[in-house]
Chain A
Amino acid sequence: MPKVFVNDREIEVPEGTNMIQAAKAAGIEIPHFCYHPGLGVDGNCRLCMIELDGVPKPQIACNTFAKEGLKIRTDTERVRELRRAMLEFFFLNHPLDCPICDQSGECLLQDFYMRHGRYESRLDLPKVHKRKAVAIGPRVVLDAERCVLCRRCVRFCDNVTGTGEIRVVNRGNRSEITVLPDHPLDNAYSLNTVDICPVGALTSQDFRFKCRTWFLSSAKSICIGCARGCNIHLDSSEGIAYRLRPRENQSVNRWWMCDDGRMTYRALNDDRCEVPLVGGVETEHDFAVAAIAERLRSAGGAPGRITVLLSPDMSNESLYAARAFAEKILGGSRAIAGSLKTPGIEDDLLRRADPHPNRRGCDILGVWRDDLRAELASGGKLLLAIQNDIADHDPASLDLLRRYEAVICLATNLNRTTGSASIVHPVTPQSECDGTFTNFEGRVQRFRRGMPARGDALTVAELLARVAVAMKHPEFGWVNLNQIWKEMAGAVPAFAGMSPETIGDEGMEAVR
């Protein structure tokens, strides 16, 4: 690997690394707009100017590639002067509407000005006016005056989705991006253009004006929209989820995620199950736990009397805990998982037809059943349904639920299934607890708690442990995620040798 010198700091980087990446690896920021690792070099913004030893003219860092002994400088007076100059050019026709701009707080133009600009303004001519607040598609809004014409969005639609909706039209300082008539920006990945837009030119129809970005806190999470398990940032504020953004993971979703996946945050806010219900009446947590324990006890310990219905939306930890609960506390009752949800659209970029984040986890734990309908039809007296909304996906399956004398639901959201249950207790969705999913390729990936649990919601493992206590089994349960994993890694061959630490932020392949 070639060694290069960034401001005299020696750093070894892989062949083909450009100087923006090399400097970043050395901990030095080279401001840039047009370059993006997922979109390659375009060379138009001219902000990433550096000086090379032995080359008289400043060069762009994005198009300067590592070779042995290359010496670059990002700290010379000429480089600083050029950065200020480029930023001044960008601001020449850029509206200073930061107070009403949705990008404020995460705007690269703002950041770069504060870090590398700070010049005295000498702009005293009228600005060029362009189109504002134009819906260029159902989910993306364009403000052409804010655009820095880096063409990341153009290249995304050309090179990543291959749909080519966005074009630059006109020339000179009248240049602006647009979509072709009758061809709106409506591909399945259109909101990525909002993420990669360095300024407030492209904003999300869904997110704009909902929350100032500096109020948001972010947690590393996993999208539950399909079996891909795209790595994401979950952005929330004061217990409300506002948006999901892709988190780079070269093995899973690179820098992207689909538009449908982004909208899954809504279920974290809407129709949440927050308070236990017994017979349709809101009750105290302790009372509900006692009621659940009583029902389970009275259904009888013999196998076949109780069916525990799991779901491919549950984490590995929840599945493992529920399976152990069925086995040890419910006398070897059957624990099965399945889905009645209609498969989604699959493509060759990210989206998978399987609409659940953890069907593979159900497979690994041996609970997956392909014909859920038949399995449920042969059920016993009592159904303990965990995070599985079979009735919402298929109203006819309400008949299946009616075969049981009673249905107990542990649920994140209120829905038709909880509506037909005699006892309902809230459990936490992935946004409110730590855990893991196993994606379709067998990659185990961590999600982290980003928001406080709503109401009385507990993790499935916590809640079942409390029920076990009420059923005189105080020995059942785990202290935390690490402890569950310690046990799972020993008990489940596919998870052998794994722990939350080794899985880390990038995920880890389950043993085949």
Chain B
Amino acid sequence: MEVRLLTRNFDRPESWTLASYEATGGYAALRKACAMDPVAITEEVKKSGLRGRGGAGFPTGMKWGFVPKDAAKPKYLCVNADESEPGTFKDRYLLERDPHVLVEGIVIASRAVGIHRAYVYVRGEFGLPYRRILGAVREAYAKGYLGADILGTGFHLDVTIHRGAGAYICGEETGLIESLEGKTGQPRIKPPFPAVVGAFGGPTVVNNVETLAAVPWIIENGANAYRGYGTEKSPGTKLFSVSGHVVRPGVYEVPLGYPLRDLVYGLCGGIRGGRKMKANIPGGSSVPILTGEEALAANLDYESLAAAGTMLGSGGMIVIDDSTCMVRALATIEKFYAHESCGQCTPCREGTGWLRDLVMRIESGGGTPADLDKIMSITRNMIGTTICVLSDAAAMPAASFVTKFRDEFARHIGAGRCPIEEGAHA
């Protein structure tokens, strides 16, 4: 069953308007937060166990706590709305259907950390989400939820909406900051981390849309109530963007720890045409793939999926049925990462293109048996060797596809054509 904490307003008419949001009790959490000591806000979020929903799953309250109290430079909040991971579209739903919950989360987070300037970095291709968040920010200014002296507390916050130009890498937090500063979107070496030196040299918190959208509920209902959902180590709910061969693809909010089987076969209505689930990528295209059997045994929380050899990631679940050629599926993924590699670090710049070319050669019938070991060895040299994890994001699918579907890759190579898809490339 869905638990709709963040998606509670999704089905309301004109849910994106301030009128609608206030009608369901919106901005009550902000009023409560304004009466709280900023430190207490961070403590409440720490207690809730909220973890970053962009993919890395880093504890949110701890991230806020890393910001130095007495920084000489201004502090910033960057909202990561550059949702670009293939298979992920939950932030887009949040921006389109309930932008005010994000605005409220921004104000609460900023008050907690002592930030007076927030940027929302919106993916360049997001037209409607951009207009909705822009509209919400304007409404919030008009109503005194943003700007000078918010709700008479003396706290001031300005929010700027910044549109990206369509690069996947700008969703990486330091790539985002570089892009925001007007530079080429290329991740920075760490340390220093953004919490110490971030945007424009100031301490910066970078949070995902869904993460901040969870903050108002936590403040309003308390950390304990939030911990009432999910598991001990993965508390709360998570939005899953389910795509692929299910009967009802879409965004579903379920408590963490929810059985994958129930999401796919319950909420999503099972595999279209009654076919078999051949494979499942649970966390966005960059995480290791699971076979259908592995997936059916897994629960949807950080620890269970790690135990299954994959990651929760952004919750972008791609469901693959048995009519799919895994070589072709991998080729599609590798084309994406080769295209999106920023080109800064050698293993990623060269490795992503190499993987793509090798997989495409197998796909088009020109592969050799040695290619599979070569792919495995290349991925080993790409994982953990670069500034950011785009290299890993390209390598993990390749390594897991080849490991788990090696027979199919071998048959593809042996036949010189696709053994599964009729009419696929000869």
Tell me, yes or no, whether A139 is within 8 Å of chain B by CB. Answer: no
Tell me, yes or no, whether A136 is within 8 Å of chain B by CB. Answer: no
Tell me, yes or no, whether B208 is within 8 Å of chain A by CB. Answer: no
Flag if B343 contacts A45 (CB, 8 Å): no
CB distance from A48 to the nearest CB of B (A): 11
Flag if B343 contacts A168 (CB, 8 Å): yes
Bound-complex Cα distance A86 to B346 (A): 7
Interface residues of A in 368-382 (CB under 8 A from B): none
Residues on A with beta carbons closer than 8 Å to the beta carbon of B384? 57-58
Q: How many residues of B contact A (CB 8 A)?
A: 30
Which of B4-12, B124-132, B260-268, B333-341 lies at the interface?
B333-341
Tell me, yes or no, whether B97 is within 8 Å of chain A by CB. Answer: no
Interface residues of A in 56-85 (CB under 8 A from B): 57-58, 60, 63, 81-82, 85
* A172/B349 contact (C-beta < 8 A), A41-B189, A43-B387 known: yes
* A173/B350 contact (C-beta < 8 A), A85-B381, A149-B343 known: yes
Bound-complex Cα distance A44 to B341 (A): 13
Given B189, B340, B351, B352, which contacts A63 in the complex, CB threshold below 8 Å? B189
Tell me, yes or no, whether B358 is within 8 Å of chain A by CB. Answer: yes
Residues on B with beta carbons closer than 8 Å to the beta carbon of A42? 189
Bound-complex Cα distance A42 to B188 (A): 9
Flag if B346 contacts A43 (CB, 8 Å): no
Residues on B with beta carbons closer than 8 Å to the beta carbon of A44? 344-346, 387
Interface residues of B in 353-375 (CB under 8 A from A): 353-354, 357-358, 361, 370, 374
CB distance from B364 to the nearest CB of A (A): 12
Tell me, yes or no, whether A210 is within 8 Å of chain B by CB. Answer: no
Known: A89-B351, A171-B339, A172-B341. 7 other contacts (CB 8 A): A58-B384, A82-B381, A86-B385, A171-B342, A172-B352, A172-B353, A173-B341
Bound-complex Cα distance A148 to B342 (A): 14
CB distance from B128 to the nearest CB of A (A): 27
Q: Mostly helix, strand, loop or mixed at chain B's interface? A: helix
Residues on B with beta carbons closer than 8 Å to the beta carbon of A47? 346
* Residues of chain B having any CB pair with chain A under 8 Å: 167, 169, 184, 189, 338-347, 349-354, 357-358, 361, 370, 374, 381, 384-387
Flag if A173 contacts B352 (CB, 8 Å): yes
Bound-complex Cα distance A171 to B343 (A): 5
Given B184, B347, B354, which contacts A46 in the complex, CB threshold below 8 Å? B347
Q: Mostly helix, strand, loop or mixed at chain A's interface? A: loop
Flag if B189 contacts A92 (CB, 8 Å): no
Bound-complex Cα distance A171 to B346 (A): 12
The closest CB in chain B to the CB of A49 belongs to B385
Flag if A173 contacts B385 (CB, 8 Å): no
Residues on B with beta carbons closer than 8 Å to the beta carbon of A173? 338, 341, 343, 349-350, 352-353
Contact with B along A73-108 (1 / 0, CB 8 A): 000000001100110111011000000000000000
Bound-complex Cα distance A148 to B344 (A): 10
Given A46, A92, A122, A125, which contacts B361 in the complex, CB threshold below 8 Å? A125
Tell me, yes or no, whether A128 is within 8 Å of chain B by CB. Answer: yes
Please give me the 3 A-B residue pairs with the lowest Cβ-Cβ distance, nearest first.
Answer: A175-B343, A85-B381, A43-B189
Tell me, yes or no, whether A342 is within 8 Å of chain B by CB. Answer: no
Bound-complex Cα distance A125 to B342 (A): 22
The closest CB in chain A to the CB of B370 belongs to A122
Once A and B bind, how many residue pairs between them come within 8 Å at the CB atom? 89
Residues on B with beta carbons closer than 8 Å to the beta carbon of A175? 343, 349
Bound-complex Cα distance A172 to B386 (A): 13
Residues on B with beta carbons closer than 8 Å to the beta carbon of A85? 347, 381, 385
The closest CB in chain B to the CB of A93 belongs to B350
The closest CB in chain B to the CB of A44 belongs to B344
Tell me, yes or no, whether A174 is within 8 Å of chain B by CB. Answer: yes
Contact with B along A370-402 (1 / 0, CB 8 A): 000000000000000000000000000000000
Flag if A89 contacts B347 (CB, 8 Å): yes
The closest CB in chain B to the CB of A81 belongs to B381
Flag if A128 contacts B346 (CB, 8 Å): no
Residues on B with beta carbons closer than 8 Å to the beta carbon of A298? none
Residues on B with beta carbons closer than 8 Å to the beta carbon of A480? none
Residues on A with beta carbons closer than 8 Å to the beta carbon of B357? 125
Bound-complex Cα distance A168 to B184 (A): 9
Bound-complex Cα distance A86 to B189 (A): 18
Bound-complex Cα distance A111 to B387 (A): 25
Bound-complex Cα distance A92 to B347 (A): 11
Contact with B along A458-488 (1 / 0, CB 8 A): 0000000000000000000000000000000
The closest CB in chain A to the CB of B386 belongs to A46
CB distance from B370 to the nearest CB of A (A): 8
The closest CB in chain B to the CB of A63 belongs to B189
Which one of B189, B349, B370 has the highest number of Cβ atoms from chain A below 10 Å of its Cβ? B349
Residues on A with beta carbons closer than 8 Å to the beta carbon of B387? 43-44
Residues on B with beta carbons closer than 8 Å to the beta carbon of A41? 189
CB distance from A379 to the nearest CB of B (A): 63
Bound-complex Cα distance A45 to B385 (A): 10
Bound-complex Cα distance A364 to B349 (A): 58
Flag if A90 contacts B346 (CB, 8 Å): yes
CB distance from A57 to the nearest CB of B (A): 5
Tell me, yes or no, whether A250 is within 8 Å of chain B by CB. Answer: no
Bound-complex Cα distance A86 to B349 (A): 11
Bound-complex Cα distance A45 to B189 (A): 12
Tell me, yes or no, whether A170 is within 8 Å of chain B by CB. Answer: yes
Residues on A with beta carbons closer than 8 Å to the beta carbon of B370? 122
Residue pairs across A and B with Cβ atoms less than 8 A apart, 12 shown, are A43-B345, A44-B387, A85-B385, A86-B346, A86-B381, A89-B351, A93-B353, A170-B343, A171-B167, A172-B352, A173-B352, A175-B349
Flag if A149 contacts B189 (CB, 8 Å): no
Bound-complex Cα distance A484 to B344 (A): 56
Residues on B with beta carbons closer than 8 Å to the beta carbon of A122? 370, 374
Residues on B with beta carbons closer than 8 Å to the beta carbon of A93? 350, 353
Flag if B353 contacts A86 (CB, 8 Å): no
CB distance from A52 to the nearest CB of B (A): 14
Bound-complex Cα distance A58 to B387 (A): 12
Residues on A with beta carbons closer than 8 Å to the beta carbon of B169? 171
Residues on B with beta carbons closer than 8 Å to the beta carbon of A89? 346-347, 349-351, 354, 381
